[in-house]
Amino acid sequence: MRIGKERLRKVLALIAEMFPEAKGELDWETPFQLLIAVILSAQTTDKAVNKVTPALWAKYPEIEDLASANVTDVENCLRTIG
């Protein structure tokens, strides 16, 4: 099912009206960082994700860096969150 742009705008406006104080707790600066943080937060708390992501972003600042990273190295960065 596709939703038109106008209908999407109306839905988003309604959500913003219903939840004016809504705010995400994840720390991020780029869409790439948000995507990874959201994926990680599905398995733990946002607070825990925010503790490990600064080191992850420092080591893998771009999506290409993470994509080409050694899996064990990435696992070691994330070990404390399971």
The pLDDT value recorded for residue 45 is: 96
User: What value does the mean pLDDT of the chain take?
Assistant: 94
pTM of the predicted model as reported, rounded to 2 decimal places: 0.73
Which among 61, 37, 58, 59 has a CA at the least distance from the CA of 49? 37
3-state helix, strand, coil in the chain (%, to 5): 65, 0, 35
Express each pLDDT in 26-39 by its tens digit: 999 999 999 999 99
Q: Which two tokens stand for residue 14?
A: 């309604």
Q: Which domains does the chain have, with CATH numbers?
A: 24-81 (1.10.340.30)
